[in-house]
Structure 1
Amino acid sequence: MAPIAPPAHIVTPSQPIAPPSTSASGGLLTRTQKFIEENQRLILLGCAVLAASGAGYYLYSTKSSGAGPSGDAGSSSSSAPGTSSSAKKNKKKKKKASSSAKDEKYVKGEGDKGPLLEEIEQPKEKKVEKVETEVKEEGFLADVPDATTLESMDESARNTLGASLKDRGNKLYSKKDFHKAVECYTKAIEVSIRKDAVFFSNRAACYTNFSPPEYTKCVADCDEALKLDKTYVKALKRRATALENLGRDEEAVRDFTATTIIERFQDEQAAMSVERCLKKLAQKKAKDILETREPKLPSPTFISAYLSAFRPHLKPTLPENPSQGDQTLLLAFDALEAADYSHAVSFVNEAIDQGISSKDNEAEGYNLRGTFKFLIGDSEGARQDLQKSLDIKPDFVQSWVKIASVHMELGDSASAFGDFEAAIRHNADDPDIYYHRGQVYFIMQEFDKAIADYNKSTALDGSFIFTHIQAAVAQYKQGNVGSSMAAFRRILKEFPDKGEPSNYYGELLLDQQKFQESLERFDRSIELDKDRKPRNVLPFVNKALALFQWKQDIVGADELCQKALEIDPECDVAVATLAQLSLQQGKIDEAIKWFEKSAQLARTEGELVNAITYEHASKAQVQFLKNYPEFAERLSQMAQGM
């Protein structure tokens, strides 16, 4: 569950929630990632299409995807999307229903337990006497000529002998006699003059069925098969599965991605395998990064958004005989007021270490330090500090509200609502309680309860702009578009000098595809906030999205995002948008750099996993085009047909 925040205007499961951040269009970050959320396969598997075509934004529908891989050769489909016959569609539906069970077998390497059939058409040989292929229990290779005899045989005869040994291996394989099958395939490789990728691929299949499986040998044989035929999909799949079982997920992503593209996105199981391996890879890398990286504050835009969700209260005052800690605490609040967040963190840490003499001030110190820990992503550390604040001062309502946010982020909604009830017992007239509880109801999509709390908050204090905005957004979410838009027009009149209403009203207009009006609103917001410190850069990113959606003006959108980063170099939504714009242009290398930057800015594990996922998905696309440049033209044609 996400934490609760202010106008951060970012509403994703892993980020704080701000008032209008949850606007009808889903919030800025949600919209910038709509490309990912609604068309995930395009990012994970279709970037190569974009790179090859240099064209705009193409979607391949999973509804027209073909059947997933069986373990048998000859199962690939070359049908282009959208050309399936009625019979094929029915067959696909049946296969899709059992995809989960198949996928599990595929991961475990159990996809090769059916009969092996050749995928590669063999060139015609001169007619020679066929070698007996019946499998005998004893001496099953006794009839194979010795080395001296082999040397006297011509190339055609040796190749035919190799093919017969392969057939013999297939029969042994079908009887699950995998060790003897390996001997046959090995002998086929030895006797044949013309090396055949099928021999290596079939032997690789045997290794995956050993007990325990010999995945390393499987990979080695698939390597040899792919040297002979680099588009041999069966070998790619087998190598990918073996690599995944060896924990080499990055290489597995490479092969599953290649399989999916070569098969024109018709292989549903390979597509699912890409996502599965990417998820494991990203989770492992994210865990490693989080264990070693230094805690880091998010962008000033993000921090300012969170802090502005709380009505300001008086700064602590010095006691009659202040300690060094008391004085340092005041420096922390001075830095906070000046939006010098890094110094505010340093000072509050020092103040607590030095010792704060006043109980009220000590509670303020732990509240402030807990707030910054929450923003950094240290939810457990934040919970401990906020609890200390409440132990010292049980009626500190703001600490109750903030610890509710922490409990929501930790997934403990019961404790969060308990925190709100405790806050009400101490001061039922504090409007912040109802605003933030309304936010919780909002993210739970209980809009009636959210609106009731927003109205309660407004009745206690009508001067807080975000309560008005969020109530209007909640109406929009309920489908009451007319009432919501009327509420926004009223808010614009009541707060004519504030940029936020124009920005969020612009979001609703953009959601309704009223592009010209939305651009005017974003421009108005930018103008009103030009002297604000720290400056709100979100209208720049919103305007970029509007330009792109309306006129496909990628250059203008890019410039606006770059402007946002000039003002706030760590604005995560600007970075996310630039990554998507790069993909739209087929500039995958550039997109990768933005995804890497996004990972650096990630506040939570969920955000980090997302950034790493798309970074490595894009890298797999780049590697595919490097390994298979001949597919560029085909991919361009596929893009045009999507």
Structure 2
Amino acid sequence: MAPLPTAPPTALAPVIPPAPLPTLVSRAQRWAEDNHRLILLGCAVLAASGAGYYIYSTSSSRPPPPSSSASSGSAKSGKKRSKKKKSKTGNDDDGPILEEIIPLISEVKEEVKEVKEEKEEEEVKEEVKKELENAHLADIPDETTLAGMTNTEKNKLGATLKDRGNKLYSKRDFIKAVECYTKAIEVSVRKDAVFYSNRAACYTNFNPPEYDKCVADCDEALKLDPVYVKALKRRATALENLGRDEEAVRDFTATTIIERFQDDMAAASVERCLKKLAQKKAQEMLRTREPKLPSPTFISSYLAAFRPHPKVELPFNASQGDQTLLLAFDALGAADYSHAVSFVNEAIEQGISWKEGQAEAYNLRGTFKFLIGDSEGAKEDLEKSLDLMPTFVQSWVKIASVHMELGDAASAFGDFEAAIRHNADDPDIYYHRGQVYFIMGEFDKAIADYNKSTSLDDTFIFTHVQSAVAQYKLGNVAQSMAAFRRILKQFPDRGEPSNYYGELLLDQQKFDESISRFDRSLELDKDKNPRNVLPLVNKALAVFQFKQDLAQAEALCTEALNIDPDCDVAVATLAQLSLQQGNLDEAIKWFEKSAKLARTEGEMVNAITYEHASRAQKEFLKNYPELGTRLSQLATTM
């Protein structure tokens, strides 16, 4: 069984959270990158048994469509006489010649009869075709004549009209082609999905295209043949052009599954429509939702990535705003983040009497704006902080993170250089610049910065950990593991090293050791406020991968959410656990919550993408229950 993925965060996540890579977050990102198509197209295509992620095996065959639309022409029996080897005596292996001749005579008679009927059928068809070859629709038999025709003759006339429509289509005379297909539908007794699908194709070529009519015709075609891929594709394309992306995802997904994931264009269309749909919904959510702090786990992790600096000291005649600012920092120290936000906002409104206090206030408010995903607001506040106190290194480092979040790496590196000019001996500068290099995959430069930070202050645990992880990313596994063992001895009372070391062990599939490390981390940090719940989620992943124990994994994630209800990685993991159990409704619920917890638009887009990929797969199983059985028999690919 493959490792359980979680919905990946944005690529900038390592700058913000504390957790060194590869953490739960980075493993999810790597899995997502390696299995991008499967996530979007097959992650929720689950068997009735709910045993994992499936795609079609090459040996499985597509079920035949209903007989009413299996072919645009008449079916031929294709019977063949069996030939048996004669013995030298004149007898075959099974009996006398007479016994063989009698059934052969009957068989020949039957074949002659079939050939004669086929010839007559073709002759009638040819006659009708010749009559209409150069004729206008006005020359088609009138209602009285049609009423006197047999059903067979009407069906043959419909087939001929379809053929004429095809010729007109190839000549790009779409209006007359529509007339032919329409008349074919009217005169035929046996309705054929091809008639509707071909007419739908004409509507998409009108100028301007008539996509609504295309959708209506594809609806009719799919009523006759639910697995008619051409009609599915045409309807999906029309729906996409109508801006109905959710329905387009449904049809492109069905097409991809029916064609066993062999249609790269359909796969690309699923991704394209999902991306548009997710971006549209994410932007709408961002416009309408109230600003909300992320989970305490996330906030405390971010704040822990900075070395503590001295608490602000109030001036002699402190103002009311000064006193309120002190309350904000007291709340921050107590991990009462909501009150810290309220107090710092109030302090700025009341007015802070001295310049350094104002710079601290804008730094703190900018930090919280950054944490809620308001990067522009964070940038504005941090710039005010630096205007007031240009030597405030922490504000330079934080605004560098904001610039990275906004995709402006050049400005971020400029911020680090400015910080170095003001205080080249501040170890935070090099730690956070190392994080940026880490994100960019420049691990050697990252290690150099981590080592520089450590040389200035070797008591900060994260520089040691991050350097060890960077070595791991470079492939220096033995060196990385040795570094972690040293870190465990250097910081015996801290839970973080055991958690991160456990993640590396899990990455190497050393399950027993990793679980022991997660348990040790939980034990060491049990009294920490707020508690770090990531070891619980990591342990959930470990027990799932090790024992496929979905129940225990789910219980561990639930425990994490009881401690920290807004823990996004626990929510994302529960979504994937639900998929593993084949519970699409539950998975969709968790993906919806994941989107609500998302801090940035990118994170929100990822969650919404997975949600709607799962919805499309659920719709597929509803519309094609007969294929659900087949899916349960397919081998997992991971």
Normalising by structure 2, what TM-score? Answer: 0.87
Residue 5 of structure 1 is matched in structure 2 by: none
Per-residue CA distance 1:185-244 (angstroms, 9 max, x = gap): 011111112221111111111111111111111111111111122221111111111111
Q: 1:204 to 1:372 in 2, by over 3 A?
A: same
Q: Distance in 1 between matches of 2:233 and 2:631?
A: 20
Is 1:568 the counterpart of 2:564 in the alignment? yes
Q: Distance in 1 between matches of 2:56 and 2:188?
A: 43
User: What is the CA distance between 1:138 and its match in structure 2?
Assistant: 7.0
Q: Distance in 1 between matches of 2:552 and 2:493?
A: 27
Query: Contact conserved, 1:401 with 1:436, CA < 8 A, in 2?
Result: yes
Q: Distance in 2 between matches of 1:15 and 1:165?
A: 61
Is 1:634 the counterpart of 2:630 in the alignment? yes
Which sections of structure 1, spanning at least 5 residues, go unmatched?
1-9, 66-76, 81-116
Residue 201 of structure 1 is matched in structure 2 by: 197
Name the Cα RMSD after superposition. Answer: 2.3
Q: Distance in 1 between matches of 2:361 and 2:237?
A: 53
Q: 1:171 to 1:135 in 2, by over 3 A?
A: farther
Residue 520 of structure 1 is matched in structure 2 by: 516
Query: Contact conserved, 2:50 with 2:579, CA < 8 A, in 1?
Result: no
Is 1:535 the counterpart of 2:531 in the alignment? yes
User: What is the aligned counterpart of 1:17 among 15, 29, 42?
Assistant: 15
Per-residue CA distance 1:282-301 (angstroms, 9 max, x = gap): 11111111111111111100
User: What is the CA distance between 1:491 and its match in structure 2?
Assistant: 0.8
Counterpart code for 1:21: A
Residue 365 of structure 1 is matched in structure 2 by: 361
Q: 1:441 to 1:35 in 2, by over 3 A?
A: closer
Q: Distance in 2 between matches of 1:291 and 1:350?
A: 25
Greater shift, 253-262 or 592-601, is seen at 253-262
Residue 586 of structure 1 is matched in structure 2 by: 582
Q: How does 1:123-202 map to 2 (within 5 A)?
A: 127-128=120-121, 129-130=124-125, 131-133=127-129, 139-202=135-198
SS for the counterpart of 2:634 is helix
Greater shift, 491-500 or 415-424, is seen at 415-424
Query: Contact conserved, 1:19 with 1:466, CA < 8 A, in 2?
Result: no
Counterpart code for 1:573: V
Q: Distance in 2 between matches of 1:421 and 1:47?
A: 44
Query: Contact conserved, 1:204 with 1:222, CA < 8 A, in 2?
Result: yes
Q: 1:198 to 1:59 in 2, by over 3 A?
A: closer
Greater shift, 479-488 or 596-605, is seen at 479-488
Residue 253 of structure 2 is matched in structure 1 by: 257
User: What is the aligned counterpart of 1:431 among 427, 432, 438?
Assistant: 427
Residue 375 of structure 1 is matched in structure 2 by: 371
Q: 1:378 to 1:231 in 2, by over 3 A?
A: same
Q: Distance in 1 between matches of 2:289 and 2:23?
A: 29
Is 1:509 the counterpart of 2:516 in the alignment? no
User: What is the aligned counterpart of 1:224 among 220, 241, 251?
Assistant: 220
Q: 1:120 to 1:154 in 2, by over 3 A?
A: closer
Is 1:389 the counterpart of 2:393 in the alignment? no
Residue 50 of structure 1 is matched in structure 2 by: 46
Q: Distance in 1 between matches of 2:549 and 2:35?
A: 21
Residue 89 of structure 1 is matched in structure 2 by: none
User: What is the CA distance between 1:639 and its match in structure 2?
Assistant: 3.9
Q: How does 1:282-431 map to 2 (within 5 A)?
A: 282-431=278-427
SS for the counterpart of 1:133 is helix
State the identity as a percent. Answer: 77
Q: 1:488 to 1:20 in 2, by over 3 A?
A: farther
Q: Distance in 2 between matches of 1:563 and 1:41?
A: 32
User: What is the aligned counterpart of 1:497 among 480, 490, 493?
Assistant: 493
Is 1:470 the counterpart of 2:470 in the alignment? no
Q: Distance in 2 between matches of 1:471 and 1:35?
A: 23
Counterpart code for 1:28: L
User: What is the CA distance between 1:636 and its match in structure 2?
Assistant: 1.6
Q: Distance in 2 between matches of 1:431 and 1:605?
A: 31
Q: Distance in 2 between matches of 1:134 and 1:320?
A: 107
Computing the radius of gyration over CA atoms, which structure comes out larger, 1 or 2? 2
Residue 233 of structure 2 is matched in structure 1 by: 237
Aligned residues: 582
Q: Distance in 1 between matches of 2:443 and 2:225?
A: 58
Query: Contact conserved, 1:523 with 1:539, CA < 8 A, in 2?
Result: yes
Per-residue CA distance 1:120-163 (angstroms, 9 max, x = gap): 56467985522443598975223310011111111111111111
Q: Distance in 1 between matches of 2:15 and 2:211?
A: 46
User: What is the CA distance between 1:11 and its match in structure 2?
Assistant: 7.1
User: What is the CA distance between 1:474 and its match in structure 2?
Assistant: 1.2
SS for the counterpart of 1:377 is coil
Is 1:598 the counterpart of 2:575 in the alignment? no
Q: 1:295 to 1:120 in 2, by over 3 A?
A: farther
User: What is the CA distance between 1:36 and its match in structure 2?
Assistant: 3.7
Q: Distance in 2 between matches of 1:550 and 1:154?
A: 69
Per-residue CA distance 1:604-635 (angstroms, 9 max, x = gap): 11111011111011011111111111211122
Query: Contact conserved, 2:52 with 2:636, CA < 8 A, in 1?
Result: no
Query: Contact conserved, 1:118 with 1:198, CA < 8 A, in 2?
Result: no
Q: 1:121 to 1:289 in 2, by over 3 A?
A: farther
Is 1:276 the counterpart of 2:252 in the alignment? no
SS for the counterpart of 1:296 is coil
User: What is the aligned counterpart of 1:546 among 542, 545, 548?
Assistant: 542
Q: Distance in 2 between matches of 1:533 and 1:574?
A: 18
Residue 106 of structure 2 is matched in structure 1 by: none
Q: Distance in 1 between matches of 2:439 and 2:521?
A: 26
Q: 1:429 to 1:522 in 2, by over 3 A?
A: same
User: What is the CA distance between 1:17 and its match in structure 2?
Assistant: 3.0
Counterpart code for 1:250: E
Per-residue CA distance 1:548-594 (angstroms, 9 max, x = gap): 11111111111111111111111011111111111112111111111
Per-residue CA distance 1:2-61 (angstroms, 9 max, x = gap): xxxxxxxx97404243687343xx321232455543323333222454243421344669
Q: Distance in 2 between matches of 1:301 and 1:360?
A: 29
Query: Contact conserved, 1:400 with 1:419, CA < 8 A, in 2?
Result: yes
Q: Distance in 1 between matches of 2:218 and 2:54?
A: 32
Q: Distance in 1 between matches of 2:599 and 2:507?
A: 27
Normalising by structure 1, what TM-score? Answer: 0.87
